[in-house]
Structure 1
Amino acid sequence: MTFTKRDENAAPGFYQAEAAGLRWLRAAAEGVPTAEVLEVTDTSITLPRYDSMAPSPEQAQEFGRRLALTHQAGAPHHGAPPPGLNHGFIATLPLQHLAEPPPHWGEFYARCRVEPFARTAAESGSLDAKGLADVLKLCEQLREGDPGLTGPEVPAARLHGDLWSGNVLWRAEGALLIDPAAHGGHPETDLAMLSLFGLPHLDIVLEAYTATAPLPPGWQHRVRLHQLHPLLVHAALFGPSYGAQSVSVARAYL
Structure 2
Amino acid sequence: MDSETWVKTVPAAEARREAAGLTWLAAAPGGARVARVLGTQDGLVLERVRAGTPTAASARAFGAALARTHAAGAEGWGSPPPGTGGDGTLGAAVLPTPRRCPERWGDFYAGYRLLPYLRQARDAGILDAAATRLLERCAGRIADGGLDHDQPALVAGSATGVARVHGDLWSGNVLWASPDGEAVLIDPAAHGGHAETDLAMLHLFGLPHLEEVVRGYREVSPPADGWRERLPLHQLHPLAVHTVLFGAGYAGQLLAAARRVG
TM-score, with structure 1 as normaliser: 0.93
Q: 2:212 is matched by which residue type in structure 1?
A: I
Q: Percent identity?
A: 45
Query: Paired residue for 2:6?
Result: 3
Shift of 1:239: 1.3
Q: 2:9 is matched by which residue type in structure 1?
A: R
Shift of 1:125: 3.1
Q: Structure 1 residues 134, 180: closer, same or farther in 2, change over 3 A?
A: same
8 Å contact kept, 1:81–1:98:
no
Query: Paired residue for 1:16?
Result: 16
Q: Does 1:126 align with 2:134?
A: no
**2: CA distance between counterparts of 1:54 and 1:181?**
25
**2: CA distance between counterparts of 1:48 and 1:170?**
14
Query: Paired residue for 2:168?
Result: 162
Shift of 1:100: 2.4
Shift of 1:62: 0.3
Q: Does 1:99 align with 2:99?
A: yes
Query: Paired residue for 1:252?
Result: 260
Shift of 1:238: 1.1
8 Å contact kept, 2:230–2:261:
no
> Structure 2 stretches of 5 or more lacking a match?
none
User: Aligned pairs, how many?
Assistant: 248
Report Cα offsets for 1:180-226 as digits up to 9, x if no partner: 00000000000000010110111111011011001111111100110
- Higher mean alpha-carbon deviation, 204-213 vs 90-99, is at 90-99
Moved over 6 A (4+): none
RMSD between superposed Cα atoms in Å: 1.5
**2: CA distance between counterparts of 1:202 and 1:29?**
23
Query: Paired residue for 2:51?
Result: 52
Q: 2:235 is matched by which residue type in structure 1?
A: Q
TM-score, with structure 2 as normaliser: 0.90
**2: CA distance between counterparts of 1:226 and 1:72?**
18
Q: Does 1:243 align with 2:251?
A: yes
Q: 2:28 is matched by which residue type in structure 1?
A: A
| 2:251 match: secondary structure | helix
